[in-house]
Amino acid sequence: MNRLLPLLAAVSISALSAGLAHAEDITIKLSTLAERSAPARITNIEGAAEIMNQQFAAAGVDKHIVIDVNNSTVQGWDDLALETLKAMAVGQGPDIYVLPHEWIGEFAEDGYALPMDDKIAASPWVYGDILPVLWDAAKATDGKIYGVPQDAEIRMFFYNKDMLRAIGKDEAFIEGLPAKVEAGEFTLDDLTALSKEVVDAGVAPYGMLHRPNVGIDYLMVFQSYGVKFMDENTGKLVFPKAEMTKALGWYERNAKEGVTPVDNTAMSWDAIKEAFKTENAFIFHQGVWAVAWQLGEGSGATWPTDKDGYFNKIGWIPAPAAEKGGKPANLSHPLLYTVNAKSENADIAADLVALASLPYFNNEHAVTSYHTAISNAQTAMPKYKDNWVLSAASPMMAHAQFVPNHTQFGSYNKVLFSGLQAVETGRMTAEEAVEFIADELDLQFGDDVEIRETAVN
């Protein structure tokens, strides 16, 4: 890490000002979710502190940064955000905290998130190379940036190429499918038809599986149909009925045609993973981290672990366009390093975040947790390039969209999922489900969600 020191001469100027001549520990509190697969969210900040401590020593400044970690064991990221809000409200919040991006507006509005635009502009040596699309996830409705992307990920449809060979598709079709999706020549309905071919031929009992519970993977299908979840001008959540009807209609058709099982949402995660791994399902859609359980032995089957072998068997595509000539859609759900605006050490905390966002540090996180790069430089570094999974996933960020930066979207999404579940099980038609969802949203949120006939009105 010493090789980074020449880059950092401008860092922590505020910390090197007058009054630092006596010995003193500077405690920086860091809060994140305890995840065994992602220790670098903590160790990267600790590594950044080590660099700053070296700077202090080199400058003859008798200061030492100590990182005090709250590795929270709450159930999930939303619970962590609520836990952090409560701590902030009583003046006991952390100096740096990891936040799911959709919460950034709430923390900004309450004055707990430091505006980062000036910090970003002053530190092009790190922030100038961050993927521009990721900054969109860190903005509140005032257009300002309040966090720094800590990681990124991408969602996709995984499809089994061997099953296409089994139904007589040639290699030109099989290997050319991603390009057709990118060009808008292969639509969601085409994907349904292809899946039905596989099922009707008896190659696999399931054509297409998706997550069994509330999440965001399926939202990329809604976005392909033109669904907008939030009005960027007003910051209000919206529910566009026409586009929602089309999207739910696709899931309804998949179930009626035997492509997706009517009990998909009643299946366990283990059953879904095993079905895809044991080649009882043609398509599974989730995210890049799913490759970790697809490789090698596990979930009831053995698959290739090398790039050529894996991609000879499995292909990736974003959600195809809803209509010919349209654009595919994809989703990313970045987490953010956020600085407490009320921290007396906010400047030092911001400097630590900058250092921890350098390609070296972020790659330590990315390659161990199957997250995609936040910067272009990362993708050129050997450690990232040698990870063929991440190298192959990074280009898919070109179509990345995000869930709304709105704290009520999680509750909104639960209602949306109940409608999806209703059409797959046959309890409702797509039209009935849309009316049901609209009524539920109105009941739960009132004027906080705007019910629209279409996304454009």
* pLDDT value for 398: 86
Strand partners, 330: 400
Strand partners, 340: 113
Say how many C-beta atoms besides its own lie within 10 A of residue 89's C-beta: 11
* pLDDT value for 15: 44
Question: Contact 59/77 with Cβ under 8 angstroms?
Answer: no
Name the residue type at position 259. Answer: V
* pLDDT value for 108: 95
* pLDDT value for 457: 64
The DSSP code for 422 is: H
* pLDDT value for 414: 94
Name the residue type at position 359. Answer: P
pLDDT in tens, the chain (457 residues): 444 443 444 444 444 443 444 558 999 999 999 999 899 999 999 999 999 999 999 999 999 999 999 999 998 899 999 999 999 999 999 999 999 999 999 999 999 999 999 999 999 999 999 999 999 999 998 999 999 999 999 999 999 999 999 999 999 999 999 999 999 999 999 999 999 999 999 999 999 999 999 999 999 999 999 999 999 888 899 999 999 999 999 999 999 999 999 999 999 999 999 999 999 999 999 999 999 999 999 888 999 999 999 999 999 999 999 999 999 999 999 999 999 999 999 999 999 999 999 999 999 999 999 999 999 999 999 999 999 999 999 999 988 899 999 989 989 999 999 999 999 999 999 999 999 999 999 999 999 999 999 998 6
* pLDDT value for 456: 84
Alpha helices in 229-387 (DSSP H): 241-256, 269-277, 291-294, 307-313, 346-356, 359-369, 376-380, 382-385
Domains of the chain: 2-151+334-386 (3.40.190.10), 155-331+406-452 (3.40.190.10)
> Do the strands 148-151 and 335-339 form a parallel or antiparallel pair, or are they unpaired?
antiparallel
